[in-house]
Amino acid sequence: MDVRIYYEDTDAGGVVYHANYIKYMERARTEFFRRHGFLVAELAEKGFVFPVVRLEIDFKSPALHDDLLSVTTSPTRVGGSSVTFNQKIIRQSDNRILADGLVTLACISPALKARRVPLEIRQLLEAEIENIA
């Protein structure tokens, strides 16, 4: 997913505010599912919600106003009721990795009870992991 950095994304020093990287990663995960035919709102209507339960990010270099970034999303693990993605934020002009993160999502019901990852999503993620390996 591509992201253009606007003035509103930056802090007083002209650097992208750190919390915005989390927003870009969230959008990219949503787009990952959309690209594969799964809409987050429809999953929630069916009783499958995927909140972030663990987030680890290494900030390597700053993004600046008007940079064009790519956010990559690759599944690395699918468990019974959780999924982990590696996400990278890369500046397109020099292919520099600006942020590298691991994000784990739990699969829960709207009543906040753990649920198994739906079979069709499990199969998609396992196929993606296999393609990466």
- Walk me through the domains of the chain, giving residue ranges and CATH numbers: 2-132 (3.10.129.10)
C-beta separation of 69 from 61 below 8 A? no
Task: Determine if the pTM surpasses 0.75.
Answer: yes
Coil, helix or strand for 123? helix
Which of 11-15, 55-59, 89-93, 106-110 is predicted with the least confidence, judged by mean pLDDT?
A: 11-15
Say yes or no to pLDDT of 133 above 90: no
Q: How confident is the model at residue 79 (pLDDT cuts 50, 70, 90)?
A: very high
Active site residue 66: no
Q: How confident is the model at residue 81 (pLDDT cuts 50, 70, 90)?
A: very high
DSSP E strands: which ranges in 25-107? 52-59, 68-78, 82-91, 96-106
Give residue 132's pLDDT. 82
Marked catalytic residue, from 11, 58, 94, 100: 11
Give residue 33's pLDDT. 97
Q: How large is the C-alpha radius of gyration of the chain?
A: 16
